[in-house]
Amino acid sequence: MITLDVGYVAAGLFFAAASALSAVDRESPKRWKNALFWGLLAASFLFGARLGDLANGVLAIALVLLAGVGGLGQGRPATTTPAERRASAERRGDRLFVPALIIPATALLGALVLRRVEIHGSPLLDPGQATLISLALGVVLALATSVAWLRPPLLAPLQEGRRLLDTVGWAAILPQMLAALGVVFAAAGVGDVVGGLAGSALPLGGRLAAVAAYTVGMAVFTVIMGNAFAAFPVMTAAVGLPLIVRRLGGDPAVMSAIGMLSGFCGTLMTPMAANFNIVPAALLELPDRDGVIKAQLPTALLLLVGNTLLMYLLAFRR
């Protein structure tokens, strides 16, 4: 049975390659710092399950210190030239999108078909992680297709990946860190504390107040943690289940669906959601790194108000 470990191994090998290539890049002003940063991240993916909680915690602190003290550097990877890439794009046209489309197609195939395939009574893919495993397999398949079709220099795919990592910098691992923070918050009982405060502050039977506390709380916690999935267990344990579902009899399905949408409103408003708001600005070299957030802010606030009203109108209809 193929498990999610295949995805961790693939990611770990890529980060290990980025570390090695950074170490030999003499034109990079911070090549050893970059090499150590990506090397530690590779160790996390490859050996994290065997390191134990303390070692993984020390590794995470080391990553934060490396990124926080002086930041990472921008290397000069040896890859294809802009002229070569432009000529290849003009020659192949829209067919260049085929490798990118292989990834979601493989993920969809895995979620709908491969998760049900069995070999000698054993499932081909871990049923609980079939979509993520298929996504990782899709990336590998798309890479193999691109190399076989485009025939770039041997190290070009790895060098291009390292170039993107250097451009994005530490923000590339922010989603992983923030997801871990959400687990820490839940384990530390932050939801219980917030729930106690909300329960004592909100009036009995105040449906709109409870809904607003949940939706706005989802947005605020997402702004803090940068990840609605990390905010969801905290706010659902604090307000959603005890107040909206148990005390007021709300529909948990409606509450959860609209609650996640409310969290995504927070995603639009925070630099902590670096993969959505900071990385695009860096890759596009926008003069204002907060320009994406500023453009999204009015829409996010209107959507948050709309989600609050929708939950108030729909969650208590059963």
Burial class from Cβ neighbours inside 10 Å (0-12, 13-18, 19+) for residue 206 reads middle
Statement: residue 303 has pLDDT above 90: yes
Reading phi first (left if > 0) and then psi (alpha if -120 to 50, else beta), residue 213 is in: alpha
User: What's the pLDDT at 312?
Assistant: 92
* Residue 9, token pair as written in the block: 């191994």
Q: What does the buried/exposed string (b/e) look like for 209-219 if buried means 16 or more CB atoms within 10 Å of the residue's CB?
A: ebbbbbbbbbb
Q: Please give the angle made by the CA atoms of 14, 19 and 20, to the nearest 5 degrees.
A: 100
Q: What does the buried/exposed string (b/e) look like for 227-263 if buried means 16 or more CB atoms within 10 Å of the residue's CB?
A: bbebbbbbbbbbbbbbbbbebbebbeebbbbbbbbbb
Q: Which range has the worst mean pLDDT, 22-36, 88-102, 162-176, 193-207?
A: 193-207
Statement: residue 190 has pLDDT above 90: no
Of the pLDDT bands very low, low, confident and very high (cuts 50, 70, 90), residue 260 is very high
* Residue 32, token pair as written in the block: 């050893």
What lies within 8 Å, CB to CB, of 84 at 6+ separation is none
What lies within 8 Å, CB to CB, of 121 at 6+ separation is none
User: What's the pLDDT at 20?
Assistant: 92
Query: Rounded to 5 degrees, what are φ and ψ at 119?
Result: -125, 115
How confident is the prediction for the chain on average, in pLDDT? 84
Task: Give residue 308's identity as a one-letter amino acid code.
Answer: T
Statement: residue 35 has pLDDT above 80: yes
Task: Give residue 58's identity as a one-letter amino acid code.
Answer: V
Of the pLDDT bands very low, low, confident and very high (cuts 50, 70, 90), residue 195 is low
Distance between CA 171 and CA 144 in Å, rounded?
Answer: 27
Statement: residue 205 has pLDDT above 70: no
**Is residue 121 classed as helix, strand or coil in its secondary structure?**
coil
User: What's the pLDDT at 225?
Assistant: 79
Distance between CA 12 and CA 197 in Å, rounded?
Answer: 42
Distance between CA 227 and CA 80 in Å, rounded?
Answer: 35
Distance between CA 235 and CA 58 in Å, rounded?
Answer: 28
Distance between CA 252 and CA 87 in Å, rounded?
Answer: 54
Query: Rounded to 5 degrees, what are φ and ψ at 118?
Result: -125, 145
* SS3 readout for 226-247: CCHHHHHHHHHHHHHHHHHHHH
Predicted confidence (pLDDT) per residue in 212-251, tens digit? 989 999 999 888 877 787 788 888 888 888 888 888 888 8
Of the pLDDT bands very low, low, confident and very high (cuts 50, 70, 90), residue 275 is confident
Q: Which residue has the higher pLDDT, 40 or 81?
A: 40
Distance between CA 245 and CA 250 in Å, rounded?
Answer: 4
Quick one: average pLDDT of 241-263? 89
Quick one: average pLDDT of 38-43? 92
Statement: residue 191 has pLDDT above 70: no
Distance between CA 307 and CA 216 in Å, rounded?
Answer: 10
Quick one: average pLDDT of 204-217? 84
Statement: residue 318 has pLDDT above 70: no
User: What's the pLDDT at 201?
Assistant: 64
Predicted confidence (pLDDT) per residue in 107-139, tens digit? 889 888 888 887 877 887 887 888 888 888 899
User: What's the pLDDT at 101?
Assistant: 92
Q: Determine what percent of the chain is predicted with pLDDT higher than 90.
A: 21
Question: Which range scores top for mean pLDDT: 88-92, 133-137, 193-197?
Answer: 133-137
Of the pLDDT bands very low, low, confident and very high (cuts 50, 70, 90), residue 202 is low
User: What's the pLDDT at 145?
Assistant: 92
DSSP 94-107: GGGHHHHHHHHHHH
Beta strands in the chain (DSSP E): 118-119, 122-123
